[in-house]
Homo-oligomer: A and B are copies of this chain.
Amino acid sequence: MTPRTQRAMPEGDDRGFEPGNCPVRQVLDHVSAKWPVLILMELGQEPRRFNALQRALPDISKRMLTQSLRNLERDGIVRREVFDTKPPSVSYSLSELGHGFLPHVLALVEWAEKGMPTIISARAAYDNA
């Protein structure tokens, strides 16, 4: 008996990546998330001190700035140096690993900038529909 209604299409299943224990995921989360991206771009220009970062990124909270920097430092992407001034100064800069990452972020931004017109009109079309 031939069914008169069409069968569902093939799924194209795939086991995907291992869920929580994937190390690449963790690093990506530390690096490609909202704030880390902006922080790394700032540090890509020049080393900056904690408060300077905060002023450069006015809408990040102290809390998230600290947390993001800690993650990046722990992963060896950012270096933290304390100088014994009064009051003490803390300078953050890209490590070698961090410098290797920088071009990729910049490429992302460039892609976004170049695609922006397309994106804008796609949004207009979507919202209009």
Please list the residues of chain A having a beta carbon within 8 angstroms of any beta carbon in chain B.
Answer: 5-9, 11-17, 19-20, 23-25, 27-29, 31-34, 37-38, 42, 45-49, 51-52, 55-59, 73-77, 83-87, 89, 91, 97, 100-101, 104, 107-109, 111-113, 115-116, 118-123, 125-127
Known A6-B85, A19-B58, A104-B104: A48·B115 in contact at CB below 8 Å = no
Chain A facing B: main interface SS: helix
- With both beta carbons as reference points, the residue of chain B lying nearest to A52 in the complex is identified as B11
B85 touches A47 (CB 8 A): no
Q: Which of B28, B109, B123 contacts A112 (CB 8 A)?
A: B28
Contact of A12 among B49, B116, B122 (CB under 8 A): B49
Residues in chain B near residue A83, CB distance under 8 A: 6, 9
**Closest residue to A54 on the B side, CB-wise?**
B16
Closest Cβ of chain B to A52, distance in Å, is: 4
Residue pairs across A and B with Cβ atoms less than 8 A apart, 21 shown, are A6-B85, A8-B85, A9-B85, A12-B49, A23-B116, A23-B119, A25-B34, A27-B116, A28-B34, A28-B109, A28-B112, A29-B34, A74-B122, A75-B119, A75-B122, A76-B118, A76-B122, A76-B123, A101-B111, A101-B115, A104-B111
